[in-house]
Amino acid sequence: MYPLLVIFKVRDLPEFDESIEKLNPIDKLYIEYYPQMEAYDNARYYFLNHEIYTHLIILPDDLIVTQNDIDVLLEDAHHYDVIGGWCNVDNTDFKHYACFSFSLPPNPPYTGTTAGYKFRTMQSVENQTGITQVMHQGWAPCVISRDIIKQIPFRSSRGCCMDSTFSLDLYENGIKQFVNLAVRTRHLKINDVGGHEILVNKREKRIRLI
């Protein structure tokens, strides 16, 4: 297994940057200050054109992960094509909800509200372990096999909601996705609109492999 960790960076959050520095050596592709659809297209293009990589790890830039989180999910990825962890949805109105659901996202996703995702309550899952099949997850983070990346292109819903459209497309293609309940990460998102300054169109776009 040879994973590529893709970091979609649109904010400057020192706590996130510090958490990445603590990870063991792994190929990291930083896609910085791109609009969402363009960022994911670039990630997919790079990944598919470098056949050495077997799995793509999606890591948003407002999610705090540990080395153990990555290790557990990579071990799981030997058995599951789409496997992720989970985190709090945000730190205000939905701070008591986990970022996965046993229901499909609103379709089309841009029309939905956070409440419409029917996220699980933290209380219902925080003391559980094991791997559960889900209909939607918020990439906290998520490990996806090369076969699935080939089969399912990323797409947006009017410029947003990449994880939601991916969940809908997995379902339409009969592909199952899973969450490891033991992998609990921490979302820095403040509220429904994010709460941190978005630097797209304010900083120069860059793609860096480190």
pTM above 0.85, yes or no: yes
pLDDT given for residue 208 in this prediction: 98
We report the CATH number of the domain holding residue 79 as: 3.90.550.60
Q: What range does the domain containing 119 cover?
A: 3-209
CA distances from 157 to 9, 40, 125, 185 (A): 19, 13, 29, 26
Q: What is the pLDDT of residues 93-105, one digit of tens each?
A: 999 999 999 999 9
Q: What is the pLDDT of residues 23-70, one digit of tens each?
A: 999 999 999 999 999 999 999 999 999 999 999 999 999 999 999 999
Number of structural domains the chain divides into: 1
Q: CB-based contacts of 162: which residues, under 8 Å, 6+ apart?
A: 36, 37, 40, 154, 155, 156
